[in-house]
Each structure stands twice: as structure tokens, then as C-alpha cells.
Structure 1
Amino acid sequence: MLIEFHLTPVLPLKDIPRFVTFSEPAQTNLERHVSLAFEDAGYHRRYTVREEPLGTVRPIRIITIGAGASGINILKTLDQELTNFDCVVYEKNSRVGGTWFENRYPGCQCDIPSHNYQFSYQPNYAWSSFFSPAREIEEYLCSICEDASMKERIRLEHEVLGAFWNEDTASWRVQIRSLRTGVEFEDHCDFLLNASGILNNWQWPDIPGLHDFAGSLLHSAKWDETFEWAGKRVAVIGNGSSGVQIVPAMQESVRELVHFIREPTWMVPPQLQSLSLSKASDILSQIQMDEKGRFLPEQIQRFKLDPDFYLSFIKAVEEQVNNNFSIVLKDTTNHRNARELVTHYMKSSLGDNEELIKLLVPDFPLGCRRMTPDIGYLASLTKDNVRVVSDKIVVINETGLVTSSGETIAVDAIVCATGFNVSFRPRFPLVGRKGNLQDIWTETHPSAYMSCAVPDFPNYFVFLGPNAPIGHGSVFTIVELISKYVTDIIKKCQTQQIRAISPSRAAVDEFAEHIATFMPRTAWAGPCASWFKAGTRDGPVTALHPGSRIHFFHMLEHFRGEDWEYVYSTKTNRFSYLGNGVSLKELDGSDTTWYLRA
């Protein structure tokens, strides 16, 4: 009797025959030894069908880093989209909320309209004003986490120290420290989601002698809420979005405010003023607010009771927010017209003070730095107790600041509105197949696949990574979209026997090439120091998506499987997930004729 083995090739070894015939004696031993020999050569035994229905979901564990808007939302999305999983969120702070927990400086508020700065599944009809203060946004995020199942999965005051990919187990080993007890421990997961954010890792300015100052030293993202500034001489360093909110909030009650700026920034008219001149004007004329943009009680009640009106309101505002992209396309009529209008607005708001105009109205393209709505900032700079200084601070001593002109400016307090580390480098070692991402993104410019995945870092996803559309309106909407996109990929891995997935290097390189070629069309690439370019004047734009919000949403509508590399759970056949010929759709009690629609 002859026994024939049918061998399935995994490696294209031309010198090994695909059919080998042996004679009867020692059948069992021959089969075992031949099987082992051919497995060593890249061949396996005959493929067998998995006795599971199509759609079977393998169990997985997910770790998320950070409980800001992204980390909170992903818990909701996972619950809605996945089954047979468990997850945990590690958050370094004592409360959830991320940016809106950490930023408590005077005047801190969102510059996106409140009802568009929320999750679609959790509308808040009772926002107090058109632009919400930071504390109110933090409370909104906390309210989402009141659900017991969410609370028990968020581990507060836990800092991630490092994450290390294990190819053999296709899993991440994550090192964590409890900030309450100091105890360090390890956790493991199949998928690692980084929701730690970009505007999160605050930093002191690099000024010699900063910590020699004997007065009050504060940072906008680490605010001392016991600090009293009334009647004091205060220096505010920085005119980014935090600085332009702090200055008018302090100006009225300080003895003197010295505002240090590195270079000018574009201040655009208040958004309510701009929206009132747009297509949203009709519905805005029906909104009942006071002179400070606070909603009247009867307006809040109407939002609650009239869903059609409410939807019309938020859609009209969102449409105008989405339309802003055309302004940053330089060398266009829209850009030129917008720049002319904003320049006129700034000069008028500065009282036509030629000295201030020279210091504050930029000569770089509109939008090169983040355009910031003016909420009394420009007017505050014209007051008698405010001085604007553009000279470089060369050193700080016990009593104040010394400028490049040699002047010493004595103050009682220094407020550093100097921003964050925006390099996109992880705050901890993140070691994938080919090294530590900290080192990789130090040696080369940060680049990712559609902002959320990195080559050679399998089963790792980042929220608002390099070239996400974070300068394009509400981050909440963007986070929802990315969460759904990432969750769909995880579900694919769960149900299709994929143990590891990562974008190909070629796909990411070509995406980066498109970004680099496109960006010179925009004001973002202009000659100005901006966090869009990691704080440099002429570096590549690493923070923004090469297109509009709608362009980004459209791009992520469909998963491009051809851009990804897969490692399957079985080496014999990628279609083993098809199973025993039966679908879970006919076993789980759901509608088996879902494909028939009216």
C-alpha cells in the first residue's frame, strides 16, 4: 500500500517536491518524521477546516493610555462595536478630562462653539454659554464616566513607564506605576491604544535662571488655583491660545502686566461676530443669549424640547466651522480677502496704535500660526497698565526678567503660557519590532498612517498622532471617527484570525510624501514659529492633516487593507476564519434576511 502526503507550501522552495510517496512499513513513524522535516522546510500537513462558524470572535485584551476625550470615547466605542474583550484605561491624573482637567488658568475656555464640542451620542443641551469654560467641559467629560462599568475600567493616578512588543506572543508588555503607592507592575494586552494627546506634555520655557525667580512662578497647564494676582506686577510669557486668554482675564485687576511675545500672531474677530455674517445668521438670530454669549434659561429649555431646532442649530454652526479650510490655502482670493479683513480688524482693535500694530500684526500668512479668536485680548493691550515687550528674555533672576536690550523688569509673578512638547515622541519607551519610537521620531520626522498607526508597531494605535486634523474644528468629532476606524480594524483581527497588524512602510512613506508635497500650498507651512511645525519656523508641518475636516472624514470612510501587513494566527491558510460553513448570523437569533430591505 502507498501513502500519499499532500503538502501545502508556505515558502517557495523550488527544490522540494509537492507530492512525496512512501511505502507501507512504519507508516506512523514515517508520517511523523516526514511531517517534521517538511515543516522545518516551510511546509505543513494537509489543511483542516476549523470547527467554528464564520464570525467567531476570539477574546482580546485592550490597554488605553489616557482618560481625556479620546480615552473616554474609545471605551464607549468598544462597548458599542466589540464583543469578547476586556479593557483598562490608565490615567496619570487624579481625575478624567485630560486637557480640560489640567488647564485651569484664568480665562480658560474653548474657542469651538459648545454644542459642537461634544460627542454625538451624549448631547448636552444645558451648556451655559456659546463658548464653554474649561471647568464645564471637564464636568461634561466626568459625567460620561459616571456609568459604573466605565468607572471600574479607568485606573486613575497610574503612569505608563514603557511598552514593549513581543512577536512570539503577539502582545504588548506594559510597565505601569501607581502614583498613589509607588508600586510598579506589568500588564499585557493584544492591542495598545495611545490616547495621551499632543497638547498634554507641558514644559517650562528654556530660559536661564527661570527657577531662580523668588516670586510666584506658574505655568498655564499647571495652574496654582491659590494664586492671587490682584494688585501685583505680573509677567505673562507667550501669546499662543493660552496667553491670549490669560492676559485679558488678569488685566483689569493687576497693578501692571508685562506681556512678552516672541513674534506676532493672527487674532481673528470673535466667532459669534463671524458666524452672524455667515449662512448661520438666520438660526443664530433665533438664539437667546446675553451680551457675554451666555444662553438664557428659556433658550436652554428650547434646546431640550425642540430636537429639530436643536439639530438645525448645531448643523448650521458645524457647516461654517467646516468651511474655514479654504482660508488657509494661500495665494487664493479667499486667503487674500480674509487676511485683509483680519488685518483691518486687528488695527482697529489696537486703536490704530502704530507701535502696537508693528509688534502685533504679522507679516506671515494668515493661519501660519493658529488663528485665535479675540476675546478682549487686543483691547487689553491698549490699557495703561499693560506693556508689550518683544525683546528676547536672556535670563531670569530672583526679582525679574532681563531682556536682550539690557533692561531688567522686576515683577511679583511670572506666568509661562509657553505650551507643550509637541514633538509627538511618546513620553515613555515604546519598543516595537525595530526599535524605540522615541528614538525613531527623534532621528526622523514623525510620520504615521492617516495619523493613527505606525509601521513596525503592530496592534498599536494613536489618537491625534502626526498629521491629524487637530486644527480643524471640534476634536470630539474627530475622536469619534478615529475610534470607529480603529475599532473596525480590531474587529477584523478578532474575527479573521489576524494576530498582528501594522501599516506597511511603503504606505506610510508615500503618505508622508503626499503631505510634504501638499503643505506648501497652505499658510501652515509659512515662515513662522508654530506648534504645527513642532515649534520651528521652517520645519515640516507635522501636526495637521493635508486637507479639510471633510477630506479627513472621507479618507477614513473605508479601510484600505492593501496598505497593511498581516500576521495570521495560522500558517496554513488565511481563510481558516471561514470555519465550518455556518455563519454566526444564522445562529445568534438575529434577522437572517437582513439583506432584504424595503
Structure 2
Amino acid sequence: MTKTPSVSVVIIGAGIGGLTFAIALKRQLRLEDFKIFERADDVGGTWRDNCYPGCSSDIPIHWYSLYSDLDPNWPSVLGYQPQIEAYWRKLTHKYSLLEKISFGTEVVSAKWDSQRDMYCVKARDMAGNETECFAKIVISAVGLLSEPAYPPGVEEELKLSPSLRTFKGPMWHSSRWGEATPLHGKTVGVVGNAASAAQFIPIISKDPTVKVINFCRSPNWFISLPNPTYHSITRWIFAHFQFAMRVHYYYLAFRDDLLFALRKYTSFNRVSIQAAKDYILARAPKKYHERIVPDFPIGCKRYIVDVGYLDSLKRDNVELNWDGFKALYSEGVVTGKGERVPVDIIIFATGFKVSHYAVRVVGTNGSIQEFFDAQGGPTAYIGTSVPTFPNFFFVYGPNTVMGHGSVVCTVETQVGYILQLISPILDGHLSRITVTQEACDAYNTYIQSQLSSPSSPLMRCKSWFRAGPDQSGKVISTFPDPWLAFWWYLRRPAWGDYECYDRAGKRIPWGVPQHWQDISRPVVGLFYDALEDLRLLDEVPRQPSTL
């Protein structure tokens, strides 16, 4: 095993979360002493992996961009995968991040060393060579949508050589489209009918020689979101008047946040459901009308932006099978009713593993996965910190997904919060900080009272929002409130919720000792903000720390 020099920060993953954090370290803290481990051979995360035909954002692209690096040249309201991947590659070069990234290298473990107050991070490259380094801080940016999920038994089949598999034809996950084979003249079985399938089925079925059989478990809510192009004059204004582009950013953010709030807190939700129902029935063929409208409320699953899926169902070469997927057989798919449907190719658009944390991170009392299992699924304090894991933070952690909001905006909010937490460590004032179990419990009691209560719409169906192999546990992915509330909770740390230790290992008070419940209240929170600002005025200027 090769031992490498210690660093201040290790970032796991070079997707949106990891790159955003690295950019913030450089821009805001002027820190160069960090390292990124990326198991793939390029940056981009989910936008690198999901290269299936028609892959696009379903959030307006100006809001789906870094606020620090807005791009005036987006051609349309929604961005497509090649454009989004190119955007993140451009930022990687702009901030000279390639030299910080170890590609083709997977973090095997990160174990807290209480003698050094550092993590021992072990990584392995594609050739099997292992390296070890120590880091004061570890940032998990592995993402929620990184590990493909399959129906039972399929993942084991894919590990076998093609000659030993039950199904003898090609098959792959939609997020592994690089393994795809030509579809022309083939019968293609698509398992799953959510966001990915709804984007690529209209594209692949344009070829009339491709017959598509879509195996569905349950229906989804669809909405229409036009994707007009930006006029050249608009792009010129954005390029020459940054203020205009930032106004547009906030307009998109507050518009979508307001619509979410109206659906949650008013009777507008009933109007939304009726509008979505009318839209689906107007677009879908009549033969599917009895099955294609959900019997659960909007929000139980993530709604899908329709980019032509419903219209594609009118094509003679597209068929829906509502019996779902049960198993494979040599020539195709066995449905839930036991029917054998022959196909040439199978594409699994079956989502991702969100209950399983792929990296073995060990704190002072076990691993992250053991903590998750004890909590009934992934759990964290405001989606960011975990008890008994000093100096370890999630970017895009549990309960941070907003079906109506921008992942990039969520990540930037978290990154700003984490920078405030780690600054005293990088300055040398503190050696470690850990959120208390009491604070984590209080926060999660609050959000679960909304998310997992019997009256919650999220409990009315099974989805990747929920924990467990059968997706019937507590809600682990979504945030219950508008994005503005998420920003409000994370605008500054509630230091009373953290245990802080100096370099001698002594627990000391740090910051204004408020708790999450205090800063979450509008009036009281502003009072604590003022106290914290006064404290920061007296803080010693940043000095480079030594390991």
C-alpha cells in the first residue's frame, strides 16, 4: 500500500456535489490542500453516466446551474445531457480541478483515527493498487443517484458472463447506456416507466423497426413543461448584464418554490391534480385510460415532465404492459402474472439504490451503514451531519431531494453551510466537531412528522423516496418544506447542536450556542444571526493551518 501526504480535505466523488465543494474551497476559502477521489474516468457524476437518448434536466437549466457560475449561453429552458456534462467539464478546467482528482480510484474506506483527529482514507485504483492518506475532513459527494437498482435477481445475472445468464440477449441499466447495442429491428423490453424511460422511449421508438414493450408497475403523474429556446437577444442581455441573469435565476427559483407551497398549503393541489389528469387523458390513447392515471396524490412519487412519452404511446410500435416485471427467462421477460413475453433486448429503467451507502465510513461508534440501519434508513441532521462521525459531512445527503427544486441549488446551500462548519478546523481553532444525537433526533422527528405520518401523501405509494428493499419504509429522500426553508435552516450553523473540541482534545463552546429550533424561527433566528455576526467581527483572521 502506498502512503500519500496528508491533506486537509478529502472529497469522495467528482460529480455535481464534489465539484461544487471543490470550487467553493478555492473561491471562498482559497484552499488548495484537498484531494478528490473519483472511481470513474471523468467528472460529471450522474450527467456522465446517464447518456441515454433524450436525457435532459426537468428543472429550468438556469436554476440548475451554479449561482457562482451562471452561463448566459444555454440555448433552451431545459438542458440536455451533453450540454450539462460539458458545463461541468468547463468548470473543472476553469478552476484547475483536474490536478486535484484521482480518476479511476474508488474510496474503499475512511476510518476515524481518534489519536490524530483525522480520517485514514484508503482507496484502490482500477489496477488494484491501494493508497492511504489522512485527512482532517471528509466530504461525501457520492450522490443519491449513482448505484443502479434492479429488480430482484437481475443484478446477480448481470455479474455472470452472457453465456451463463438466464436471458440470452443484451440487457443494461439506463444509466449504463454505454453498454448499449444497436436497437434497429429489435423488440426492446423497457422495465420501468418513470423519468428515464419517459425520456428515452419517445426517442428510440421514432425508428418504426424498433418495437418497444414498456413493463409498468404503477402509473405516474405527468405535467407539461415547455422547452422553448432562448432568443439571441435574451442570451445577449444575459451575457452583458449579469444582474438580468441573476434576476432570471431568482425568478425561476421563487416561481417553482411558490407553486410547491401552494400545492402543499392550499387547495391548489386539487387543481393541480385535476389539471394533470386532464393532460394525461388528453395525450394518452384511450385504451390506456383506465390504468394510466394514478390513484395517489401528486407528491407521492416524483412527477414526470412529459417530453413526448404520452404521445409516443400512440405509435404502433409502442405497447404498455401493466403486469410489471417478475423474472427473466431465456427469451425475455416473465410478467407479474406469469406471462412470458419474448424480447430481443432488455433495458432496466428502474432507478437507483438510495438506502445503501456504498463507502465504508467508520466513525467513533460503527459505520455509516450501521447507523442508517439502526435509524430505519438513511438519516442525517439537515441532510448534512451525522452523530458519532466527526468532521464528516454529506453533500446531497438524506432528505434533501426537492421534487420541484434544483439539485445544484440544494448542493450550493449545503456547501455554504459546511464551509462555515469546517472553517474553524482549517484555521486551527478546533480539531473536530460532531453533531449531537439529540439534535439529529429533534430535526428528524420534525421532518418525519410531515413526511412519514399516516396523512402524508408520500405514504400513499411505494417509491424511491422511501427506505427498504420494497420501498415501504420511512421517507428518506425528500425534504418536506419549500427550498427557501431549507436555505433558512442552513444559512448558518446552530453551534449549540454540535460538540466542538480544541486541538488539545478539550470540549469547548463555539459560536452562539443556539439550537436548530432557535434559528429556524423567523424572529428569534434573526436575533441569533445578529449575535453570530458580532462574534465573527471579533474572530482572528484566517491563518494557514498545518497538519
Q: TM > 0.5 between the two? A: yes
Query: Aligned runs of 1:264-303 on 2, under 5 Å?
Result: 264-269=219-224, 271-272=225-226, 293-303=228-238
What is residue 467 of structure 2 aligned with on the other side? 534
What is residue 232 of structure 1 aligned with on the other side? 186
Report if the CA contact (8 A) 2:7-2:133 is conserved. no
Code of the residue aligned with 2:228 in structure 1: it is: G
Deviates further, 95-104 or 506-515: 506-515
CA distance in 1, matches of 2:57, 2:147: 19
- Paired residue secondary structure (1:231): coil
**Change over 3 Å in CA distance of 1:237–1:573 after alignment to 2:** closer
Please provide the CA RMSD for this pair: 2.6
Code of the residue aligned with 1:256 in structure 2: it is: K
Report if the CA contact (8 A) 1:217-1:414 is conserved. yes
CA distance in 1, matches of 2:173, 2:248: 37
Report if the CA contact (8 A) 2:299-2:458 is conserved. no
Report if the CA contact (8 A) 1:164-1:430 is conserved. yes
CA distance in 2, matches of 1:308, 1:80: 20
- Paired residue secondary structure (1:492): helix
Query: Aligned runs of 1:256-267 on 2, under 5 Å?
Result: 256-267=211-222
Code of the residue aligned with 1:190 in structure 2: it is: K
- Paired residue secondary structure (1:365): coil
Deviation at 1:300, TM superposition (A): 2.9
Code of the residue aligned with 1:212 in structure 2: it is: T
What is residue 270 of structure 2 aligned with on the other side? 336
Query: Is residue 2:422 matched to residue 1:422?
Result: no
Counterpart selection for 1:117 from 55, 64, 83: 64
Deviation at 1:383, TM superposition (A): 2.0
Runs of 4+ in 1 over 6 A off after TM superposition: none
What is residue 182 of structure 1 aligned with on the other side? 128
- Paired residue secondary structure (2:465): helix
What is residue 280 of structure 2 aligned with on the other side? 346
Counterpart selection for 1:156 from 83, 94, 103: 103
Q: Which sections of structure 2, spanning at least 5 residues, go unmatched?
A: 1-5, 159-164, 512-537
What is residue 127 of structure 1 aligned with on the other side? 74
Deviation at 1:129, TM superposition (A): 1.9
Report if the CA contact (8 A) 1:232-1:255 is conserved. yes
Counterpart selection for 2:335 from 395, 403, 414: 403
What is residue 532 of structure 2 aligned with on the other side? none
Code of the residue aligned with 1:229 in structure 2: it is: L
Q: TM-score, normalised to structure 2's length?
A: 0.86
Deviations 1:17-55 (A, max 9, x none): xxxxxxxxxxxxxxxxxxxxxxxxxxxxxxxxxxxxxxx
Deviations 1:223-277 (A, max 9, x none): 13652212221111101211111111111214311001111111112x23xxxxx
What is residue 91 of structure 1 aligned with on the other side? 38
- Paired residue secondary structure (1:116): coil
CA distance in 2, matches of 1:85, 1:309: 32
Code of the residue aligned with 1:539 in structure 2: it is: G
What is residue 172 of structure 1 aligned with on the other side? 119
Query: Is residue 2:251 matched to residue 1:251?
Result: no
Query: Aligned runs of 1:438-587 on 2, under 5 Å?
Result: 438-445=369-376, 446-495=378-427, 497-519=429-451, 520=453, 524-534=457-467, 536=470, 538-570=472-504, 574=508
CA distance in 2, matches of 1:76, 1:366: 36
Counterpart selection for 2:257 from 316, 319, 322: 322
Report if the CA contact (8 A) 1:326-1:335 is conserved. no
Q: Which sections of structure 1, spanning at least 5 residues, go unmatched?
A: 1-58, 273-291, 589-598
- Paired residue secondary structure (2:84): helix
- Paired residue secondary structure (1:532): coil
Deviations 1:399-455 (A, max 9, x none): 1112233322111111100111010x3212211111112222123322111100100
RCO comparison, higher one (Cα < 8 Å, 6+):
1
CA distance in 2, matches of 1:238, 1:514: 33
CA distance in 1, matches of 2:142, 2:71: 25
Deviation at 1:545, TM superposition (A): 1.5
CA distance in 2, matches of 1:114, 1:401: 37
CA distance in 2, matches of 1:183, 1:586: 37
**Change over 3 Å in CA distance of 1:326–1:585 after alignment to 2:** closer
Counterpart selection for 1:215 from 150, 163, 169: 169
Code of the residue aligned with 1:304 in structure 2: it is: A
Report if the CA contact (8 A) 2:113-2:120 is conserved. yes
Code of the residue aligned with 2:24 in structure 1: it is: T
CA distance in 2, matches of 1:224, 1:81: 37
- Paired residue secondary structure (1:497): coil
CA distance in 2, matches of 1:586, 1:416: 51
What is residue 45 of structure 1 aligned with on the other side? none
Report if the CA contact (8 A) 2:495-2:510 is conserved. no
CA distance in 1, matches of 2:345, 2:321: 16
Code of the residue aligned with 2:52 in structure 1: it is: Y
Deviations 1:44-72 (A, max 9, x none): xxxxxxxxxxxxxxx96110000111111
Report if the CA contact (8 A) 1:525-1:540 is conserved. no
Which structure is larger by alpha-carbon Rg, 1 or 2?
1
| Amino-acid identity (%) | 29
Code of the residue aligned with 1:489 in structure 2: it is: L
What is residue 7 of structure 1 aligned with on the other side? none
Deviates further, 491-500 or 71-80: 491-500
- Paired residue secondary structure (1:146): helix
CA distance in 2, matches of 1:487, 1:308: 26
Report if the CA contact (8 A) 1:107-1:249 is conserved. yes
Code of the residue aligned with 1:252 in structure 2: it is: K
Query: Is residue 2:290 matched to residue 1:358?
Result: yes
**Change over 3 Å in CA distance of 1:574–1:157 after alignment to 2:** same
Deviation at 1:166, TM superposition (A): 0.8
Deviation at 1:298, TM superposition (A): 4.5
Deviation at 1:528, TM superposition (A): 0.9
Code of the residue aligned with 1:318 in structure 2: it is: A
Query: Aligned runs of 1:37-56 on 2, under 5 Å?
Result: none
Deviations 1:300-320 (A, max 9, x none): 334323445434433322221
**Change over 3 Å in CA distance of 1:84–1:60 after alignment to 2:** farther
CA distance in 1, matches of 2:346, 2:229: 31
Report if the CA contact (8 A) 2:26-2:32 is conserved. no
CA distance in 2, matches of 1:517, 1:66: 32
CA distance in 2, matches of 1:154, 1:374: 37
Code of the residue aligned with 2:219 in structure 1: it is: P
Code of the residue aligned with 2:199 in structure 1: it is: Q
Report the count of equivalent residues: 501
What is residue 363 of structure 2 aligned with on the other side? 432
CA distance in 1, matches of 2:205, 2:31: 55
CA distance in 1, matches of 2:510, 2:419: 22
Query: Is residue 2:318 matched to residue 1:386?
Result: yes
CA distance in 2, matches of 1:97, 1:301: 27
Report if the CA contact (8 A) 2:172-2:348 is conserved. yes
Deviates further, 143-152 or 551-560: 143-152
Report if the CA contact (8 A) 2:385-2:392 is conserved. yes
Report if the CA contact (8 A) 1:66-1:194 is conserved. yes
- Paired residue secondary structure (1:223): helix
**Change over 3 Å in CA distance of 1:399–1:561 after alignment to 2:** same
CA distance in 2, matches of 1:267, 1:546: 21
CA distance in 1, matches of 2:405, 2:417: 19
Deviation at 1:174, TM superposition (A): 0.7
CA distance in 2, matches of 1:303, 1:151: 29
